[in-house]
Structure 1
Amino acid sequence: MTKLQSVSEPESLKPKRGFIESVRDISRNPEPERVGQRWGFGAFLLVEAVFILSAVFITAVGASYGATLESSTSLVLIGSLVPIMLAASLAVVITYVRGNGPVIDLRLSLTKADVVFGLKIGVIGLVFTYVAATVWAKIVGQDNATSAIGELFSNANLPLAAAITMFLYMSFIGPICEEIIFRGLLWGAVERQGWSRWAAFVLTTVIFALSHLEPQRTWLLLVIAIPIGVARLITRSLGASMVAHVLNNFLPGLSLLLLSVGVI
């Protein structure tokens, strides 16, 4: 038996058709043993360390040239894009070096069913996010409810290229990279310990919200993360949660793009 065959899912462990059957399947059929995977929580911690240290390094280099996050659009763009892309790339490399590659280890696939389910759960997530954001803004005030990136760019008259770059980061690059790190690498690390898929869902949701380091928005981020995690939980596919995450970020990203170039 080849290495690839040894870790493929038996037919009995694949999600059943239909939403109700898929939910029942969560507890009834655990993930199969991760044969050949030689990475775990240490890999996630390494990826997070690379993300944080690269962000600190970029900020320090910018400061040495007199640039700050408040005054330099370029520094914000580089400081946003490079760390998350570097961290996600490292996560993928780890699966090749210490495992079976991202398709098997991270469940990185994108079928038509994944896209459809991701879009459905993404729409539900948008509704929950809108309601939660409205309530949260009334509780803490509009200024405290705005994300760090949104606060930096909502009032800026950005060059078109910079605005488009930030839109691509917020709507596509950021969500895809975050899914690789949290509901790919971290989720896989949890399952390697033999914990349930429910445990992976709860732990990745909480850590995702906390990792943004925005205390005022942690509860809102938890609400945002739940539907995205549900997509991963039910389909067992990282592709579905990627689609849900992209859809959740698309409208805020588009709004920020239009605001930053002065259209609205």
Structure 2
Amino acid sequence: MEDEGATSARDGLVLGAHWALVAFIVSLGAYYVLSLLLSGLAFHGRIGLSDLGPLVLLAFLPNLFLGLGPVLASRRWGRGVRIDFGLRPTGRDVRVGLACGGFSLLAAYVLNLVLLQVYGGDYLSDSTTEVLRSMTSSFGWLVFAALVVVVAAPLTEELLFRGALWSGLAHHRVSPWVILVLTALIFAQVHGEPERTLALLGQGIAIGTARLLTGRVSASIIAHATNNLPPALLLFGGS
């Protein structure tokens, strides 16, 4: 008799759910656990916070798990990241991604104007950019931090949200429009900036539209990178 677990894996199911949903849950859990661990070490003085240096890499470690889980799960139970997520960008991916990234920046600008009236200017600064810039004393590490913001973070986050979560929900026949809004909501929540949730939701919808229009994560990665470019450039504002 054929092994039931092997049959389920071939059908795309792991522990009764699509492998992409399992990858999403495990990856997000690992992200929060490692974030809490690093925060605890920093709070108790085990990790110094005086200079950017290798702390950029350390701060990115939890984010790395967001993309690592979908990649490993796709290799183990799926058809590989190029087929499952469309990680080889096409010309259309680039065009749609750039357009959606531009709309994301526009949405953030408009929504932040609204939030400005509610919270005031002190609440709407890009906290990640401000922290990184305040910690740095090296131009080389600023370049590295900018690459993390523009390249690494969009890659890992899109593999999780518009890759694993989107694919898993689509497998279970959830409406693409529902998936678009749901992934944007979770995207906004994970960033942990309550006062910017509305703006992040708008950005998430604009970025997710690239995946909706092309069916490929490459397009949403390009949109996300386009969205992150201005904050990355701001890192050099005080250098």
Q: Identify the residue that residue 40 of structure 2 maps to in structure 1.
A: 60
Q: Which amino acid aligns with 2:90?
A: T
| Aligned residue among 25, 30, 50 for 1:45 | 25
Provide the secondary structure at the position in 2 that maps to 1:146: coil
Asked if residue 123 in structure 1 is aligned to residue 102 in structure 2, the reply is yes
Check 1:36–1:109 CA distance in 2 against 1; reply closer, same or farther (3 A cut): farther
Q: Which amino acid aligns with 1:194?
A: R
Shift of residue 42, structure 1, vs aligned partner: 2.4
Q: Tell me the distance in 2 between the aligned counterparts of 1:61 and 1:75.
A: 15
Q: Tell me the distance in 1 between the aligned counterparts of 2:167 and 2:194.
A: 27
Q: Tell me the distance in 1 between the aligned counterparts of 2:133 and 2:120.
A: 16
| Contact preservation (8 Å) 2:107, 2:202 | yes
Q: Equivalent residues in 2 for 1:56-205 (5 A)?
A: 56-63=36-43, 65-67=45-47, 71-74=50-53, 76-156=55-135, 158-205=137-184
Q: Tell me the distance in 2 between the aligned counterparts of 1:214 and 1:128.
A: 17
Shift of residue 113, structure 1, vs aligned partner: 1.1
Shift of residue 94, structure 1, vs aligned partner: 0.7
Q: Identify the residue that residue 4 of structure 2 maps to in structure 1.
A: none
- Bigger CA drift: 229-238 or 59-68? 59-68
**Identity, % of aligned positions:** 29
1:78-129 per-residue CA deviation (whole Å, 9 max, x = no partner) reads 3431111233122101111122111222233310111011112222222222
Aligned residue-pair number: 225
Q: Tell me the distance in 1 between the aligned counterparts of 2:40 and 2:133.
A: 24
| Contact preservation (8 Å) 1:55, 1:79 | no
Asked if residue 236 in structure 1 is aligned to residue 236 in structure 2, the reply is no
Gaps of 5+ in 1: 1-34
Q: Which amino acid aligns with 2:33?
A: L
Q: Tell me the distance in 2 between the aligned counterparts of 1:140 and 1:76.
A: 30
Q: Which amino acid aligns with 1:148?
A: S
Q: Tell me the distance in 2 between the aligned counterparts of 1:115 and 1:139.
A: 36
Q: Which amino acid aligns with 1:224?
A: Q
Q: Tell me the distance in 2 between the aligned counterparts of 1:48 and 1:209.
A: 14
Q: Identify the residue that residue 258 of structure 1 maps to in structure 2.
A: 236
Q: Tell me the distance in 2 between the aligned counterparts of 1:193 and 1:77.
A: 38
Check 1:173–1:156 CA distance in 2 against 1; reply closer, same or farther (3 A cut): same
Query: RMSD of the TM alignment (CA)?
Result: 2.1
Gaps of 5+ in 2: 1-9, 14-18
TM-score, normalization by structure 2: 0.85
Q: Tell me the distance in 2 between the aligned counterparts of 1:104 and 1:199.
A: 23
Shift of residue 74, structure 1, vs aligned partner: 4.3
Q: Which amino acid aligns with 2:28?
A: E
Asked if residue 246 in structure 1 is aligned to residue 221 in structure 2, the reply is no
| Contact preservation (8 Å) 1:36, 1:100 | no
Q: Which amino acid aligns with 2:22?
A: G
Q: Tell me the distance in 1 between the aligned counterparts of 2:134 and 2:53.
A: 16
Q: Tell me the distance in 2 between the aligned counterparts of 1:47 and 1:156.
A: 28
